[in-house]
Structure 1
Amino acid sequence: MFDLAELERAHGIVGQAVPPTPVHAWPLLAERLGTTVIVKHENHTPTGAFKVRGGLVYFDRLKRERPGVAGLISATRGNHGQSLAFAASRYKLPVTIYVPRGNSVEQNRAIRAFGAELVEYGEDFQAAREEAYRRAESNGLEIVPAFHPDLVLGVATYALELLRKAPDIDVLYVPIGQGSGICGCILARDLLGLKTEIVGVQSTEAPAYALSFAAGMVVTTETSNTRADGVATRIPDADAVAIMHKGASRMVQVTDDEIAAAMRAYWTDTHNLAEGAGAAALAAALQEKNRLQGKRIGLVLTGGNVDFDRFRTWVGTEVAVTDRMAV
C-alpha cells in the first residue's frame, strides 16, 4: 500500500498539525496486568482521536492531485467525521458529514465546530453511510470512505512513532472500527522489520471483522449494538480484511462491561479519559492477562471522545465496580 519513504513523508504532513503523541509506561497499569504496559496516547490529538492523521493525509493528496473537487462527503460515528472536518478547515474545502440519529451529542457539536455541515440520518452507521453515498452521486461530491489507502497511510504515522520509540513491544492490541488503525500498525511494523505481534480487538456486539478474520473473507452482521460506537461496524472492508488476515495474530472480542472496566482503569491508573473504542485494547489485554506474563504489552488508546452523560452512566453507576479484581 505504501513504502517507508511515503510513510515518513506522511508523518511530516501530519506533524504540521499534530505533534507526536505521548508514549507512556504506566506503573499502575503494569500492576494491573502483571507486566510492562506501554500506552500510545492518541487521545492527545487536536480532535481527541487518532483518525485526525488520516484526514490530513487524504486532504493533502486531494489538494495536490484533484484541486477542482467541489466538496466532500462522508459518514461517521464521530472520530472520522472530526478528522475530515478538521482537515477541511485547514485546506479550505467544504465537507458534509452524515451521522446516524442518536449519535454522540458532543461528537456532533465538535464536527460542526470545525466547520462541517452535519446531517443526521438513519438508525446506525451503515444507514448513514448508504445515504451519504447516494447524496454524493446526486450532488457531484467526492465520497470519503471510512477505509481508504490515504487514511491508512495517515493513521500509520502513530504506529511509526510508537514502534520507533518502543521497538521491543511483544504484543500490540489495537481496536478495530473500519480497520484503518490496525492495518496501519501491521504495515508500519512490516516496513520497520519488527516481529511485534498485533492483536485486533472487537466488540462481542459488533464482531464483523473478527468473523471475517476467522473466515478469511468478508462476513457481515445485521446489528452492531455495542455502546462503544467507535467499533460499531456491520460491514467490513475487503481490503482491510485481507491485510488483517495476513498480518494480525488473532482477534479478541470484549463485552461492553469489560470495556467499561477498562475505561475506569484508564481513569484511575493514568487519569486519562478513554472512549469505549479507546479502552477496548486494555479490555482485551485484561481478558488475556494470564498469557501475557513476561511480555512487553502495547496498547493504543485511540481516543477520548465519550459524552459526559454516557461516561457517567455506563462507567460510573450502571456497571458494578469489579475492575479492582483484575489487579
Structure 2
Amino acid sequence: AAMRAFGARLVEHGEDFDEAREEAERQGDALGAWKIPSFNEQLVFGVSTYGLELFEAAPDLHTVYVPIGMGSGMCGLIAARDHLGLSTRIVGVVMEQLPAYALSFEAGKVVTSPPAPTIADGMATRIPHPDALAMIRAGGERIVRVNERSVRAAMRHYLTDTHNLAEGAGAAPLAALLDEREQMRGRKVGVILSGGNVDMSWLSPLLANETA
C-alpha cells in the first residue's frame, strides 16, 4: 500500500524472494528498465552506515545478531566493524526451514534450500549471493537458525515490552539472542531490528499467543 501510495506500479509474484527476484529480472529485461540489484558493493556501502552509527554509539559490543535476507545487512555490519577496527562478533540469523546461508557458510560454497513458508518473509531466500557469502564467511562469526515459534515470541516481546512493531525478519535477531541467553549472559550484545512490515491480519493471533 505504501509503495502504491507513492505512485509505484507494484507487481506481486511468486511465493518467496527468489521467485520475485527472478520475475523482476525477466520484466526488467523485457521493459529495458533499470534494475536495482538485491546485493552489490554500493548497496553494502549504504547499509554499512547503520553499522557505523551502532558501533560509534556502542563500540564495546561483544556480539551483534543480524538477520540474513540477501546478506547486505550482515555485510554492512562487517564492513563497519572492520573500518573501525573493532572485535565485535557478527552472528547471522536465518530461519531453520530456510537454511541456505547457514548451509553455505558451513560448506564454503553456495548451497540452495527448498522453498518454505515463514512469517519472516524478509528472510525467505533460497539462493545465497556468492559475493555476500564470501564476505560473510570472511568476517562473520557464525550463522544460527531460529524457528517460527521463537520469532513470534520475539515479535510479541517487541510489541508488548518496547512498543515497537517488528516484522518477522526484524525480530529474528532477538529470537536468536533469547535462544542463546545463557551463552550470552553477562556480555554486552546488540540485536538489529530491521523492519516493521507486518500483515495486520497476523497481529491478533500473534498477541493471543497463537503460533499456528
User: Is the counterpart of residue 171 in structure 1 residue 63 in structure 2?
Assistant: yes
Report the equivalent of 1:137.
29
Report the equivalent of 2:187.
295
Alignment equivalent of 1:234, drawn from 116, 120, 126: 126
Structure 2 CA distance, aligned partners of 1:314 and 1:235?
A: 29
Report the equivalent of 1:256.
148
Report the equivalent of 1:221.
113
Structure 1 CA distance, aligned partners of 2:77 and 2:116?
A: 24
Contact kept, 8 Å, 1:159 with 1:184, in 2: the verdict is yes
Report the equivalent of 1:211.
103
Structure 1 CA distance, aligned partners of 2:176 and 2:104?
A: 18
Report the equivalent of 2:172.
280
Alignment equivalent of 1:124, drawn from 10, 16, 21: 16
Per-residue deviation, 1:315: 4.5
Structure 2: which amino acid aligns with 1:194?
L
5+ residue gaps, structure 2, are: none
Structure 2: which amino acid aligns with 1:310?
W
Task: After superposition, give the CA deviation of every residue in 1:259-296 in whole Å (9 maximum; x if it has no partner).
Answer: 00111111222111111011000000011111111110
Q: Secondary structure at the match of 2:91?
A: strand
Structure 2 CA distance, aligned partners of 1:303 and 1:127?
A: 21
Per-residue deviation, 1:224: 3.1
Per-residue deviation, 1:316: 3.0
Spell out the pairing of 1:180-195 with structure 2 (5 A cutoff).
180-195=72-87
Q: How many residues align?
A: 212
User: Is the counterpart of residue 308 in structure 1 residue 200 in structure 2?
Assistant: yes
Task: After superposition, give the CA deviation of every residue in 1:197-244 in whole Å (9 maximum; x if it has no partner).
Answer: 110000012111111111111111121321211111111100000001
User: Is the counterpart of residue 319 in structure 1 residue 211 in structure 2?
Assistant: yes
TM-score, normalised by the number of residues in structure 1: 0.63
5+ residue gaps, structure 1, are: 1-108, 321-327
Q: Secondary structure at the match of 2:74?
A: helix
Report the equivalent of 1:244.
136
Contact kept, 8 Å, 1:152 with 1:183, in 2: the verdict is yes
Contact kept, 8 Å, 1:275 with 1:305, in 2: the verdict is yes
Structure 1 CA distance, aligned partners of 2:208 and 2:99?
A: 26
Q: Secondary structure at the match of 1:173?
A: strand
Contact kept, 8 Å, 2:44 with 2:72, in 1: the verdict is yes
Per-residue deviation, 1:317: 4.0
Report the equivalent of 1:153.
45
Contact kept, 8 Å, 2:98 with 2:114, in 1: the verdict is no
Q: Tell me which protein shows more strand as a share of its residues.
A: 1
Structure 1: which amino acid aligns with 2:98?
A
User: Is the counterpart of residue 199 in structure 1 residue 107 in structure 2?
Assistant: no
Change (3 A) 1:168 1:277: same
Contact kept, 8 Å, 1:261 with 1:315, in 2: the verdict is no
Asked which structure has the greater CA Rg, the reply is 1
Report the equivalent of 1:49.
none
Per-residue deviation, 1:128: 1.9
Contact kept, 8 Å, 2:98 with 2:126, in 1: the verdict is yes
Task: After superposition, give the CA deviation of every residue in 1:30-68 in whole Å (9 maximum; x if it has no partner).
Answer: xxxxxxxxxxxxxxxxxxxxxxxxxxxxxxxxxxxxxxx
Contact kept, 8 Å, 2:38 with 2:70, in 1: the verdict is yes
Structure 1 CA distance, aligned partners of 2:190 and 2:138?
A: 20
Spell out the pairing of 1:62-141 with structure 2 (5 A cutoff).
109-141=1-33
Structure 2: which amino acid aligns with 1:282?
L
Change (3 A) 1:291 1:272: same
